[in-house]
């Protein structure tokens, strides 16, 4: 019980405002009079203060479809917080409820380029606090499917699929190596642009982004192929946080601040279009590094990957690396579907690529872990990432190794990110543990957790090796065909 507070007021007063009280708290009050040093008989009662209003609203991780709202801790305990958000221009309100111990909430299912009024209320029993309100504007979604038609020696027509958001204009930038960039602005209700006065037989790159007031969408980049035969294109691009990704793709990718180059690779004789690092190894490439594979062995599906050619006879395609914390892994569903990072540093290859690769034949999985001079590994004789409609469920086989079988806990689980929660826990595992994974309730493995964070379950964890309260310094996940040994031994004999 708090120390009693005492107030004296003039005998003519009939009201007193008590300040500095705690919200949501019942107080006992006693009132008595004093005259000539004598105290009258008192009267008493109780009063209940209202719940404190959530304070310091602010937002983070704002995308074209979601945002995270934060607030400060209430002075008194509450049962939960209710968050309501509705577009400023009208529409059906959306609502999220979180536990009273949580001070942030993901706001999903938002529309691109819209301003939302967000209201947070504290709730205890049947009582509700006053509202705390702020606004947030979602990011613009990018225009897509940029194509060139009716191409002549001096002109071409550009067409694209518009952004879902209402935009003020589209900005088209095109250039050749020998010319200055040309920037064209077209109204937001336009989905095409006629390019004229082009130089014959010249390779142009084109970038397109949407603009609404001060907002700018991601860009869509296309290019025309060179006359020489190439197996793919290496794109290097950077953002404010440093280099974001180096990758080889088909004909289009979503980028900001783009630098383009392309590179020709020599193809070995045994596998003209190698579909994984094992086939590249069998072609005679024995150095670890960046290579171009062709998903499913199809010439039309090049993809740049990092191949580990030294660990356990090589042939490993690396799809995750954590080693220094330079790259943020607390990302949304779109990022984890497409992939991100620098393959010479930290990166994630992408769920869609993993599904395409592992659906072509049976692969095995290896996880390499290193920390403070120690090393361990876990190997599984089967590894599959299922199709997108399953939310990329993971299936693994029998375990061997020295790190302990922590992955079995995640068997058959769909992938989860903070904006696409597919775990079975009451809480949002990805949001709670600042990562993404095939979470269950919640994890034994958290290799996409926060680098260097050794608080419980939030760092880079492999439970059966270092537990939940140690963040591992280095982790790689990699795959190769399950029958690789047979072909590798045959290559040695030949």
Number of domains in the chain: 3
Quote the pLDDT of residue 269: 42
Is 80 exceeded by the pLDDT of residue 214?
Answer: no
Confidence of residue 242 (pLDDT cuts 50, 70, 90): very low
* Structural domain includes residue 228: no
| Lowest model confidence (mean pLDDT) among 23-37, 92-106, 324-338, 471-485 | 23-37
Residue carrying structure tokens 């006629």: 194
* Cα–Cα separations (whole angstroms), residue 394 to 49, 128, 354, 376, 408: 51, 43, 10, 22, 10
Count other C-beta atoms under 10 Å from residue 92's C-beta: 6
Average pLDDT, the chain: 84
At residue 195, does pLDDT exceed 80? yes
Cα 208 from Cα 245, distance rounded (Å) = 19
pLDDT of residue 134: 93
Query: What is the reported pLDDT for 236?
Result: 52
Same domain, 187 and 336: no
Q: Which residues contact 142 (CB under 8 A, 6 or more apart)?
A: 163, 209, 210, 217, 218, 219, 220, 254
Show which of 222, 250, 267 is a domain's final residue.
222
Q: Does residue 344 sit in the same domain as residue 451?
A: yes
Q: Is the pLDDT of residue 491 over 80?
A: no
> So what's the pLDDT on residue 487?
63
Name the band, by pLDDT with cuts 50, 70 and 90, for residue 218: low
Domain end, chosen from 107, 137, 167, is at: 137
Same domain, 350 and 412: yes
- Given a contact cutoff of 8 angstroms between Cβ atoms, the answer to whether 443 and 456 are in contact is no
Q: Could you report the per-residue pLDDT of 298-337, keeping only the tens digit for each?
A: 888 888 999 999 999 999 999 999 999 999 999 999 999 9
Question: Roughly how many angstroms between the first and final C-alpha of the chain, as a whole number?
Answer: 85
Residues 391 and 302 in one domain: yes
Q: Which residues contact 141 (CB under 8 A, 6 or more apart)?
A: 64, 65, 112, 113, 163, 164, 165, 210, 217
pLDDT at 494: 46
Domain, as residue range, for 63: 58-137
Phi, psi of 292 (to 5 degrees): -105, 125
Same structural domain, 158 and 130: no
Q: In this structure, is residue 257 part of a structural domain?
A: no
pLDDT tier for residue 489 given thresholds of 50, 70 and 90? low
**pLDDT value at position 231?**
54
> Do both 323 and 465 map to the same domain?
yes
Q: What is the pLDDT of residues 141-167, one digit of tens each?
A: 888 888 888 888 888 889 888 888 888
Residues 326 and 184 in one domain: no
In a domain, 490, yes or no: no
For 42-54, the pLDDT digits (tens) are 788 787 776 778 8
In angstroms, what is the C-alpha Rg of the chain?
Answer: 30
Does the pLDDT value for residue 446 go beyond 90? yes
**Domain assignment of residue 35, yes or no:** no
Question: How large is the average pLDDT for residues 170-174?
Answer: 90
> Which of 137, 170, 203 is the last residue in one of the domains?
137
Positions of E strands within 397-434: 399-401
For the cut 50, the answer to whether the pLDDT of residue 61 exceeds it is: yes
Q: Does residue 148 lie within any of the structural domains?
A: yes
Q: Which residues of 478-490 are buried (b: 16+ CB within 10 A; e: fewer)?
A: bbbbbebeebbee
**CATH number of the structural domain spanning residue 129:** 2.60.40.10
Instruction: Provide the CATH number for the domain around residue 374.
Output: 3.90.215.10
User: Both 301 and 404 in a single domain?
Assistant: yes
Query: What pLDDT is stored for residue 265 in this prediction?
Result: 34
Angstrom distance (rounded) from CA 166 to CA 163: 7
Q: Which residues contact 494 (CB under 8 A, 6 or more apart)?
A: none
Q: 91-95, 247-251, 273-277: lowest mean pLDDT where?
A: 247-251
**Local confidence band at 485 (pLDDT 50, 70, 90 cut-offs):** confident
Query: Same structural domain for residues 293 and 413?
Result: yes
The fraction of the chain above a pLDDT of 90, given in percent, is 46
Q: Are 380 and 396 in contact (CB under 8 A)?
A: yes
**Is the confidence at residue 131, as pLDDT, over 60?**
yes
What pLDDT sits at residue 268?
A: 35
The full DSSP string for 29-72 is: EEE--EETTEEPPPEEEEEEPPPPPP---EEES--SS-EEEE-P
pLDDT reported for residue 215 = 64
Mark whether 65 and 181 lie in a shared domain: no
| Residue 291 resides in a domain | yes
Q: Which of 2-11, 230-239, 335-344, 357-366 has the lowest mean pLDDT?
A: 230-239
Within-domain flag for 5: no
Report the run of H or E that residue 334 belongs to, with start and end: helix 333-338
Predicted pLDDT at 239: 45
Q: pLDDT digits over 67-86, tens only?
A: 999 999 877 788 899 999 99
The answer to whether residue 62 sits within a structural domain is yes
- Domain co-membership, 299 together with 419: yes
Q: How many CB atoms lie within 10 A of CB 212?
A: 19
Q: Residue 264 pLDDT > 50, yes or no?
A: no
| Maximum average pLDDT range among 120-124, 142-146, 250-254 | 120-124
Average of per-residue pLDDT across 103-129: 89
Check residue 458 and report its DSSP letter.
T
Rounded Cα–Cα distance for residues 62 and 336 (Å): 16
Q: Please check whether residues 311 and 389 belong to one and the same domain.
A: yes
- pLDDT given at position 68: 94
User: Element (H or E) spanning 117, and its range?
Assistant: strand 115-124
* Residue 251 pLDDT exceeds 90: no
pLDDT for 259:
31
Position 297 scores a pLDDT of 84
């Amino acid at each position: 019980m708090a120390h009693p507070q005492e107030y004296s007021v003039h005998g003519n007063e009939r009201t007193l405002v008590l300040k500095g009280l705690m919200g949501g708290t019942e107080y006992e009050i006693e009132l008595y009079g004093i005259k000539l040093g004598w105290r009258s008989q008192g009267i008493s009662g109780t009063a209940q203060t209202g719940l404190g209003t959530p304070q310091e609203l602010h937002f983070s991780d704002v995308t074209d479809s979601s945002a995270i709202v934060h607030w400060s801790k209430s002075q008194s305990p509450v049962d939960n917080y209710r968050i309501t958000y509705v577009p400023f221009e009208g529409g059906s309100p959306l609502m999220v409820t979180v536990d009273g111990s949580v001070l942030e909430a993901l706001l999903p299912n938002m529309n691109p380029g819209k301003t939302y009024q967000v209201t947070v209320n504290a709730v205890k029993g049947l009582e509700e606090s006053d509202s705390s309100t702020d606004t947030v504007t979602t990011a613009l979604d990018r225009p897509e499917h940029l194509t060139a038609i009716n191409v002549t020696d001096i002109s071409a027509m550009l067409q694209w699929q518009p952004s879902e958001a209402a935009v003020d204009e589209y900005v088209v930038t095109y250039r050749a190596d020998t010319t200055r960039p040309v920037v064209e602005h077209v109204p937001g209700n336009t989905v095409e642009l006629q390019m004229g006065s082009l130089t014959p037989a010249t390779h142009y790159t084109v970038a397109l982004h949407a603009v609404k007031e001060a907002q700018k969408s991601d860009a869509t980049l296309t290019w025309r192929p060179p006359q020489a035969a190439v197996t793919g294109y290496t794109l290097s691009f950077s953002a404010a946080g440093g280099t974001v990704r180096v990758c080889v793709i088909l004909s289009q990718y979503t980028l900001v601040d783009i630098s383009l180059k392309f590179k020709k690779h020599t193809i070995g004789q045994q596998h003209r279009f190698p579909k994984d690092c094992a086939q590249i190894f069998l072609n005679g490439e024995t150095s670890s590094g960046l290579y171009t594979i062709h998903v499913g062995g199809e010439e039309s599906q090049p993809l740049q990957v990092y191949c580990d050619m030294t660990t356990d006879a090589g042939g490993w395609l690396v799809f995750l690396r954590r080693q220094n914390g330079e790259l943020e892994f607390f990302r949304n569903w779109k990022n984890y579907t497409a992939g991100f990072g620098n393959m010479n540093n930290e990166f994630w290859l992408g769920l869609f690529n993993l599904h395409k690769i592992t659906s072509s034949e049976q692969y095995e999985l290896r996880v390499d872990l290193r920390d403070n001079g120690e090393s361990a590994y876990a190997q599984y004789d089967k590894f599959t990432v299922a199709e997108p409609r399953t939310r990329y469920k993971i299936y693994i086989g029998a375990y061997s190794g020295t790190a302990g079988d922590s992955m079995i806990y995640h068997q058959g689980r769909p992938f989860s990110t903070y904006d696409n929660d597919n775990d079975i826990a009451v809480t949002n595992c990805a949001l709670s543990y600042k990562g993404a994974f095939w979470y269950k309730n919640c994890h034994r493995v958290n290799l996409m957790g926060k680098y260097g964070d050794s608080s419980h379950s939030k760092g880079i964890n492999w439970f059966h090796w270092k537990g939940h309260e140690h963040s591992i310094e280095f982790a790689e996940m990699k795959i190769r065909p399950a029958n690789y040994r047979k072909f590798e031994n045959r290559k040695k004999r030949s």
